Structure 1
Amino acid sequence: MGTYAPLAVSGYRKVWGAAVVSNVGTFLQLTAGPWLMNELTGSPLMVSLVTAALSLPRLLLTIPAGALADALDRRNLMITGNLVGAVSTGAMAIMVTSGTITAEWLLAWTFLLGVGSAITLPAQQTLVPDLVPANMRAQAITLNSAAFNVARAVGPSIGGLLVSAGLTAASFGINAATFVLVVGVLLSFPRQPAEDAQRHLFRSAALGMRYVRFTRPIRRLIVIAGVFMLTASSVQTLLPVVASDDLAVGATGFGLLYGALGLGALAGVAGREAARVRLGRHMLPGAIAAFGLGGIAFGLAPGPWIAGLAMAVSGVMWVWTLITLNASIQTLAPRWVRGRVVSLYLLAIGLQPFGAVLSGAIAEVTGAGMAVAILSVGTVALGLFASRLELPVLGEIDEPVIADNWQMPRHATQVAGTPVLVATTWEVDPDDVETFMDHMRELRRTRLRTGAHRWSLYRDADRPYRITEFMVVADWDEHLAQHARIDTEAAEVIRRSRAFDRADGPVTRHLAGLDILASHAPPIADQLITVHEQLHAHDGSTPLDHHDTDAPSGSRER
């Protein structure tokens, strides 16, 4: 199936097209803002702070926004974020036109624009791929990422041309109009259901972080993304200063250099699929290292022609790197936690402010070009290091799917009291202990990825081969939600673990905290298990003795 197949789906095409326009407008401003700050102050550090102000809100808001993207209507989140963007960019356009803009106001409005972006991105990144059939999802994720990253390159190039023509205010005004356009498109779509409704935002965000922590492929990709942004962001951050001070090409040359980056990005999108097939597992580390080499060439370029060629190469590699990272992470993450996983990826991308400030500080000492070259050496080193890791290969990743036999039956069970402790006891053959422990390590990762916030393993003091697993979840609703999150991989881990019991299967007990002090606590009778045994009998997570179906919380279940 071709890369552009999802564009045949009407709903996807409308939202994707609106996102392209909006992203171009946002990054169009990424040129106008730094250039305006350079005119206002002439300080490389102040110029880098414009980029930092746009990206810094991701560090503060992206994780909560990712939790909201899984728990609320993603369409409404996107509408809210785009309205915030329209207000901030509209205000900048008015102040530039009236001549009242100052460095402080520019940073403040840019920060507010970053707030709108932080609210929007997790919902947008996860909504758009779901508008197409499952067999097109990988291509939709690729196009979604391509829209963002191509706009990152193309938008500033258009902004450079507007700046060179003295139309800085128009750059901000056009950006404001693109946000209004996106809101209009979103209002034509129905509300979107929540993927993993949560009552507690902090708990939901913490679960997303645990999922990433205990999923090694996603964790590695997110770390690579963060380090890449710390080193690679210097190219775009210091481009205005390199163009004006080192290359002396003025605003027109600045726009043309960004144009070269944009053309490279477009070529990268067109050739990405062919490169993926040809390069396989070498594509991601190779693209990272090649971007670093392009950055070194740009920073040390003796003239604009070599600088432009280096920017074109960097544009190709920028798009290849970030599309591969984004699409791989979204494909690896199950739907119920995808918003939170994507928010952590965006948080890693949001480390750009630190890279921007770092590059600005180095440039104050060494000069802008040399600062780009120094940090680009770090990008090359990252690519070489990534080539030694076992990383998932886009195109060979199977999207997680919920196990068919883990469908929960209808139930109305409510158990008060927190936390909930689930204890599962095995009678293990002495010859199987070492292998059993290996499986317990896998089981631990599964439990902590799906809702448990504490896990431990104990053995009976008198019978050392009677081994009990303890996991703690926040409350009963969270424990029941675990059943809906069991994918095929987790189901297989649980089945293999169960097989080590020498009897009819491990014995499970559920202990729910009883609230006997609070005046509003429900009656004790309402805090006892009534339907949970039936649930286990259906999903097979722990086998039960059907003669013990009325056991209360904390009883012994077979």
Structure 2
Amino acid sequence: MTLMSVGYNVVRSIGPALGGVILALLGPLTAFAFAALTDLVPLSAVLRSKWQVRSSPLPRERMTTAIHDGMRFTAISSEIRVAIVRATLFGLSSISILALLPLLVRDQLAGGPIVYGVLLAGFGTGAFIAGIGNSYLRRITSQNRLITLASVACATCCLLLALTSSVAVAAIALAIAGAGWVVTWTGTDVCVQLASPRWVVGRTLSIYYALTYGGMAAGSWIWGAVAQYYSLTWALEGAAAALLLVAAVGKLLPVRLWEESDQGAFDFRPPELALDLKPRSGPIVIKVEYSIPEENIEEFLSCMRERRRVQSRAGARDWTLQRDLQNSTLWTETFRTPTWTDYLRLNHRLTVTDREVGERLAALQVGDSPPRLSLSIERSTSPAPGSQVQPVPFVSRP
């Protein structure tokens, strides 16, 4: 992710300056024609790439189901939620720098395309330097502190841009903002990826990018409206205040990297069944019985809270935990899946780290026997459509 950001910002450093020179010397038609030709290079690379699709023993999910499962996983995973909230707020505030830059060049710096290209090159240069040193920065401090400092750096840039009329000072300020830009986006991107198993990583990243780019789109409109109805200085100073608030949010919503978790899929073998189930047979009821001594109940309940989160984000529905009234050591975990395929998909989605929760629960059992798993299928007692129902005779009481 850092290498991608570095490469992107190297091009960002060279491209605007080159575009400004072409625009000033040859006009907009030549500049845009040159930009269109350069787009053919990545397009040809995509066309020549050979994509490897990971095979699955399960049928392809429907689009609506896949979207729903991705949104549910994102909503249940606290580390992904925090990264998305922090990134969206940062994008909402920091986009003011790039959105208001043309106005700054024209009205405050009295410049043209070349000045605009130079300032964007300064932004890209700062991003490039931060990308090179990002791994070192993560070794000496936490990712949450880096993202907080990046928000402060972008706030400093906004204040400098609001107060200066010097191109050199503006270029230095934009270099500071570029560094904060890369540190924030690489940190939140990596956080979302590390917290997402392979089966859902594309969906969580899609939600992440949709919300963060939506925040940047909204921020561009907000700060542009402030600049239009009030002033450019007010807009930049307001953005600086907003970025300082975003930095303060880091105390309430710290970003954590889950580097030690194993998000690889667990090797699951379907159990043997007495019934011949079809892929869409269901609903399936899953019950797991635990025998827990009194001294292990607190730890058991703590593990069960994690177990509920793990099972629910993988696809479990109506998850409950019951304690037997006649046998105080007997606890039953119950949940449902809509179909047999959904049950198989749930188990294929569980990672090695998720399975460790089950191992901790098994260690709390009485004796050496593992928890007892039972599978059943719900059957309705309602009559089939078109069948004749025998009326229940009415017998009056004497």
C-alpha deviation, 1:373, in angstroms: 2.2
Matched, 1:485 2:343: no
CA separation of 1:259 and 1:512: change in aligned 2, threshold 3 A: same
Aligned to 1:381: 245
Equivalence for 1:444: 308
| CA root-mean-square deviation | 3.0
Instruction: Determine if contact 2:9/2:124 at 8 Å carries over to the other structure.
Output: no
From 248, 254, 275, the equivalent of 2:137 is 275
Q: What are the Cα deviations for residues 234-288 of structure 1, in whole angstroms up to 9, with x where unaligned?
A: 1101111121122222333222221221222222223323333333443222222
Matched, 1:296 2:296: no
Distance of aligned partners of 1:245 and 1:383 in 2 relative to their CA distance in 1, 3 Å threshold: same
2:45 paired residue among 177, 185, 191: 185
In the alignment of these two chains, the number of paired residues is: 376
Aligned pairs (5 A) from 1:110-129: none
Match of 1:257 among 87, 104, 119: 119
Q: Tell me what 1:333 maps to.
A: 196
Unaligned runs of 5+ in 2: 386-398
- State the shift of 1:155 in Å: 4.2
Q: Which residue of 2 aligns with 1:512?
A: 377
| Bigger relative contact order (CA 8 A; separation at least 6) | 2
CA contact (8 A) 1:296 1:377 kept: no
Is residue 2–residue 131 contact of structure 2 (8 Å, CA) maintained in 1?
A: no
What is the deviation of 1:389? 4.9
Of 317-326 and 175-184, the range deviating more from structure 2: 175-184
CA shift at 1:424, angstroms? 2.0
1:424: which partner in 2? 288
Partners of 2:64 and 2:318 in 1: CA distance:
16
- Percent of paired sites with the same residue: 25
User: Is the alpha carbon distance of 1:398 and 1:160 closer, same or farther for their aligned partners in structure 2, counting shifts above 3 Å?
Assistant: farther
Distance 1:149 1:421 in 2: 52
Secondary structure, aligned partner of 1:348: helix
Amino acid paired to 1:473: T
Instruction: Go from structure 1 to structure 2 and tell me whether the alpha carbon gap of 1:464 and 1:200 turns closer, same or farther (over 3 Å shift).
Output: farther
Pick the aligned partner of 2:319 from 432, 441, 455.
455
Question: Does 2:333 correspond to 1:469?
Answer: yes
Partner of 1:238: 100
Choose between structure 1 and 2: higher helix proportion. 1
Report the residue type matching 1:284 in the other structure. I
Aligned residue runs from structure 1 range 106-145, under 5 A: 141-145=1-5
Distance 1:177 1:410 in 2: 57
Q: Is the alpha carbon distance of 1:510 and 1:156 closer, same or farther for their aligned partners in structure 2, counting shifts above 3 Å?
A: farther
Cα distance in 1 for partners of 2:255, 2:55 equals 27
Q: Pick closer, same or farther for the CA change 1:286–1:238 going to 2, 3 Å.
A: same
SS of the aligned residue for 1:182 comes to helix
- Could you tell me how far apart the structure 1 residues matched to 2:9 and 2:285 are? 45
Give the deviation of 1:181 after TM superposition.
Answer: 2.6
Pair 1:162–1:236, CA change in 2 (3 A): farther
Q: Secondary structure at the match of 1:336?
A: coil
Greater C-alpha radius of gyration:
2
Mark the CA change 1:432 to 1:383 in structure 2 (over 3 Å): closer, same or farther. Answer: same
Q: Please, which moves more after superposition, 159-168 or 286-295?
A: 159-168
Residues 38-67 of structure 1 show CA distances to partners (whole Å, capped at 9, x for unaligned) of xxxxxxxxxxxxxxxxxxxxxxxxxxxxxx
CA deviation after TM superposition for structure 1 residue 371, in Å:
0.5
Matched, 1:346 2:209: yes
Structure 2 vs 1, CA of residues 338 and 454 (structure 1 numbering), >3 Å: closer, same or farther? same
* Shift in Å, 1:459: 3.3
Equivalent residue for 1:307, pick from 165, 170, 173: 170
Q: CA deviation at 1:193?
A: 0.5
The answer to which of 252-261 and 149-158 deviates more is: 149-158
Change beyond 3 A, Cα 1:459–1:252:
same
Moved more, 236-245 or 166-175: 166-175
Residue 291 of structure 1 and its aligned partner are, at CA, apart by: 1.8
Q: CA deviation at 1:354?
A: 0.7
For normalisation by structure 1, the TM-score amounts to 0.61
Rounded Cα–Cα distance in structure 2 between residues aligned with 1:414 and 1:276: 50
**Structure 2 SS opposite 1:335:** coil
- The 5-angstrom pairing of residues 150-169 of structure 1 reads 151=11, 155-165=15-25, 167-169=27-29
Q: Is the 8 A contact 1:416 1:512 kept in 2?
A: no
Q: Which amino acid aligns with 1:200?
A: R
Deviation of 1:180 (Å)? 3.1
